[in-house]
Amino acid sequence: MILGAAGMDRGAVLVATSLTAALCSVLIGLLANYPIAGAPGMGHNAFFAFTVCGVLGYSWQQALAAVFLSGVLFTALAAVGFRAAIVDAMPTSLKQAIAAGIGLLITLLGLEWGGIVQASGATLLQLGDLRRPAVAVSGVGFLVMAVLTARRARGAILFGLVGALATAWWLGLAPIEGIVQLPPSLAPTAFHMDLAGLAQRGPGVLAIVFVFFLTDLFDTVGTLVGVGAQAGLLRAGRLPRAERALLADAVSTALAGVLGTSTVTAYVESAAGVAAGGRTGLTAVTTGLLMLSGLFLLPIVQTVSASVPVAWEIGTGTRLTFVQYPIVAPALVLVGTFMLSAVREIVWDDPTEAIPAFLTLVLMPATFSITEGIAFGFIAYAGLKLATGRAREVHWIVAVFATLFLLRYAFFRP
């Protein structure tokens, strides 16, 4: 729907999204043996459609070319091991803060999707209308998940989803309109990227490609570190085989530009699979294959991900509309509970470690962006270490990216 706003054929984008998600997930599972799935990222597609195509006036074909170039750049850096070096260069406190911040981010998303919280003109957020049917759906789902989790039962999230689905069907929020259908055609978007047209746009193209690259890099790095920490994959603060997972993401992003969708990134919702017991690449491979099956089982997929449009006044005469996804919402809230345990590993007695970690974990949900949380963490970490005469503790990679983030905020804000 978001890329459709840029003029792209929605059916073709659906197929391209499924194909790139399947490829990325399977590659991460086979190459890195991680229980982490990948797919075109939410937020990345909004930047694609509303900023690059909308505000800046690029055609969607030129935006696809920028996605492709960012994927090529991402892949090229694998040859020198630079991307894995970024993961290793991150301070331990920031790695743990990233895990906790992702937990808070997906919890907030779950609370919004479930109707528990909503926008407010006075305080940005407020308690939602708990009498809405969507709240009942997410409430039943979360209750089943929480009770089964407390009783150490296997499949708690899956059974909670079934409970939420049954409640939604009973309330008429998730009608089943079939089971199998043929997928749409990929032809309207595949191989339509316009490299020549992009080159004619001048030096500003470099900023577009850089933002695509930067957000993809740090969304993926943040997810690998955060979900990896939850899964117990970190070894002495390092993430083994991180380069292989990043390579899978990079190749998939380049393919996304070719087939017709936005930047591919490792997905934070992978934490739900880890919470259900996923610990190896088999989890990611299974997810990838199910993404392919979804092309033919689209009616069922649409039922499980049923959306409920809601409109309300925010107190300033402005009427807002928002889409809730109450069946899947409770899983995100529950997983956030597990991921927040990472805060125990942060060195809270050292302000030069604690303050950057705190900014990282609170700004992820506040900005709805993993990248922005990491950016503020890097900037604060490098700045505080420098101000206290401890600059030697800052890895040069962290210092370089802290500077790049500052320049990005100063000269280019997507």
| Helical (H) or strand (E) element with 129 | none
Beta bridge partners of 119: 125
State both tokens at 313.
């006044």
Closest CA to 91 of 339, 408, 389, 380: 380
Query: In this predicted structure, what is the pLDDT of residue 60?
Result: 96
| Helical (H) or strand (E) element with 266 | strand 264-266
Q: What is the mean pLDDT of the chain?
A: 88
Phi, then psi, of 298 in degrees rounded to 5: -55, -40
pTM across the whole model: 0.75
Distances (CA, A) of 149 to 21, 231, 269: 29, 17, 18
| Residue where the block lists tokens 């949900």 | 365
Q: What is the DSSP letter of 185?
A: P
The whole-angstrom separation of Cα 413 and Cα 409 is 6
pLDDT digits (tens, 9 = 90+) for 7-20: 999 889 999 999 99
Task: Check residues 29 and 122 and name the one with the higher pLDDT.
Answer: 29
The whole-angstrom separation of Cα 285 and Cα 291 is 10
pLDDT digits (tens, 9 = 90+) for 157-175: 889 999 999 999 999 888 8
Query: In this predicted structure, what is the pLDDT of residue 414?
Result: 52
**pLDDT grade for 268, boundaries at 50, 70 and 90:** confident
Closest CA to 33 of 239, 336, 216: 239
Query: In this predicted structure, what is the pLDDT of residue 2?
Result: 79
**What secondary structure does DSSP assign to 314-380, as a single string?**
-SSS-EEEEEE-TTTHHHHHHHHHHHGGGGGGS-TT-HHHHHHHHHHHHHHHHHT-HHHHHHHHHHH
Query: In this predicted structure, what is the pLDDT of residue 174?
Result: 85
Query: In this predicted structure, what is the pLDDT of residue 408?
Result: 82
Chain mean position to CA 13: 18
| Residue where the block lists tokens 């991150």 | 90
Whether 303 and 165 have beta carbons less than 8 Å apart is answered as yes
Query: In this predicted structure, what is the pLDDT of residue 253?
Result: 94
Q: What percent of the chain has pLDDT over 90?
A: 48
The whole-angstrom separation of Cα 362 and Cα 140 is 28
Residue 316 has pLDDT above 70, yes or no: no
**pLDDT grade for 179, boundaries at 50, 70 and 90:** confident
Whether 275 and 338 have beta carbons less than 8 Å apart is answered as yes
Residue 259 has pLDDT above 90, yes or no: yes
pLDDT digits (tens, 9 = 90+) for 322-341: 788 899 899 889 888 888 88
Residue 149 has pLDDT above 70, yes or no: yes
Whether 114 and 326 have beta carbons less than 8 Å apart is answered as yes
User: How many CB atoms lie under 10 A from the CB of residue 176?
Assistant: 13
pLDDT digits (tens, 9 = 90+) for 35-46: 999 999 877 887
pLDDT digits (tens, 9 = 90+) for 52-102: 898 789 999 999 999 999 999 988 887 677 777 887 888 889 988 988 888
pLDDT digits (tens, 9 = 90+) for 119-129: 887 788 889 88
pLDDT digits (tens, 9 = 90+) for 59-68: 999 999 999 9
Phi, then psi, of 44 in degrees rounded to 5: -65, -40
Query: In this predicted structure, what is the pLDDT of residue 79?
Result: 65
Phi, then psi, of 324 in degrees rounded to 5: -105, 150
The whole-angstrom separation of Cα 255 and Cα 250 is 9
| Residue 204 one-letter amino acid | G
